[in-house]
Amino acid sequence: MNPIPLLNPINSSRNVRKKAAKQNVCFYKRKLFYPMNELMNNPWLNLAYTPASATWNLICFPFAGGSAEYFLPWRALLNDVALYPIQLPGRSARWQEQAHSTIDGLLEEMMPILIPLIQAKPYVLFGHSMGGYIAYMVAKKLKDLGLKEPDCLVLSAVPAPMHWNNSKKISTLSQEEFSLFFEQLGGFDPELLKHKSFMDFQMSLLRQDVRLCEHCHTKETSRLNCPILAISATDDPHVQPEHMQAWEQLSTVKFTHEIMSGDHFYLTKKKDTLTRVIKQQVNQEVGT
């Protein structure tokens, strides 16, 4: 029986734990996990795509200001893969929830959702930019908990920890400087820039997400016992290829570095190529 979590803590007394053990369920701290088929109604996974033919799980974390909807086009490209785009609080259908500004708070709430997914099938963590920070921290947390590390960790446009800039606090920039930084980075539809109410909301979310990234920068790093696939773009002004290459130092198993043409948001136009590269890498690791 594949486990999934209840959303609220429950009584985790010794008797309850013994009973749960007999039912082949497990605990993460004070939260109990139940069968996987109930998990799809969870707001973190409301856009999950789970074809019956899937042989492995791809768990995706969005970039700053992004949402799970960004990964919807991947469904058509990954018809034999279970796709789990994570919907973080503070965006899309969860826009009324408070976005996390610390990685500790995010992991505390999110890990009970992720643990069932890593137990069900071979799995891959993918993250782009901020999502890469989150993916690495999730993999590190799983290692610290003694749980199964990913069959592959795919990190896109996010520098290795030894190149994280702890002194440059983007979250403290003035509103004008902050907006200019992200407009230059790209990723915004020019038409959306004309809508002040949308941009005010988006910039507030971005600032929270940037604080989350900066909080990641303060955390200790460690080597992982899983393959790492790093992907950088030729014209990304904020992430240098050598900073992606440095992820090699954090895998005890295998490291691969792919460079694609494009800017920081190369994956919008290169989703076919990106998903093909991910599938090829995973097929080598899990033999599917």
Find the CATH number of the domain harbouring 100. Answer: 3.40.50.1820
* Residues 235 and 261 sit within 8 Å (Cβ to Cβ): yes
How far does CA 122 lie from the centroid of its chain? 16
Coil, strand, or helix at residue 241? Answer: helix
pLDDT, position 23: 37
Q: Please give the C-alpha separations between residue 211 and each of 83, 101, 223, 228, in angstroms, as whole numbers.
A: 27, 5, 24, 25
pLDDT, position 196: 65
Nearest to 135 by CA among 146, 123, 145: 123
In this predicted model, which residue has the larger pLDDT, 193 or 118?
Answer: 118
- The two structure tokens encoding residue 119: 């137990």
Residue 138 banded pLDDT, cuts 50, 70, 90: very high
> Are 168 and 246 contained in the same domain?
yes
Q: Is the pLDDT of residue 27 over 90?
A: no
Pairing of strands 57-61, 123-128: parallel
The domain total for the chain is 2
Q: Is the pLDDT of residue 244 over 90?
A: yes
pLDDT, position 287: 66
**At CB < 8 A and 24+ separation, what contacts does 146-151 make?**
147/115, 147/118, 148/118, 148/119, 149/224, 149/225, 149/226, 150/118, 150/123, 150/124, 150/125, 150/226, 151/56, 151/122, 151/123, 151/124, 151/226, 151/227, 151/282, 151/285, 151/286
Q: What backbone torsions phi and psi does residue 192 show, to the nearest 5 degrees?
A: -70, -30
**For residues 145-164, average pLDDT:** 92
* Residues 88 and 62 sit within 8 Å (Cβ to Cβ): yes
- The two structure tokens encoding residue 254: 């295998």
Residue 104 banded pLDDT, cuts 50, 70, 90: very high
3-state per-residue secondary structure call for 124-162: EEEEECHHHHHHHHHHHHHHHCCCCCCCEEEEECCCCHH
Lowest mean pLDDT among 9-18, 30-39, 231-240, 271-280: 9-18
Q: Please give the C-alpha separations between residue 115 and each of 121, 139, 241, in angstroms, as whole numbers.
A: 11, 11, 32
pLDDT, position 202: 77
pLDDT, position 12: 35
Q: Is the pLDDT of residue 107 over 90?
A: yes
Q: Is 42 exposed, middle or buried, given 0-12, 13-18 or 19+ CB atoms closer than 10 A?
A: middle
> Are 33 and 161 contained in the same domain?
no
> Are 24 and 167 contained in the same domain?
no
Q: What backbone torsions phi and psi does residue 51 show, to the nearest 5 degrees?
A: -65, 145
Q: Mind listing the pLDDT tens digit for each residue in 168-205?
A: 788 888 887 877 777 777 666 656 655 667 677 778 88
> Are 257 and 204 contained in the same domain?
yes
> Are 281 and 162 contained in the same domain?
yes
- The two structure tokens encoding residue 109: 């709430």
> Are 176 and 46 contained in the same domain?
yes
> Are 32 and 127 contained in the same domain?
no
Domain that holds residue 232: 42-286
Q: Is the pLDDT of residue 62 over 70?
A: yes
> Are 134 and 9 contained in the same domain?
no
In this predicted model, which residue has the larger pLDDT, 278 or 3?
Answer: 278
Q: Is the pLDDT of residue 41 over 90?
A: no
> Are 21 and 55 contained in the same domain?
no
Task: Tell me what the pLDDT averaged over the chain comes to.
Answer: 82
> Are 275 and 224 contained in the same domain?
yes
> Are 240 and 195 contained in the same domain?
yes
pLDDT, position 158: 94
In this predicted model, which residue has the larger pLDDT, 229 or 167?
Answer: 229
> Are 81 and 27 contained in the same domain?
no
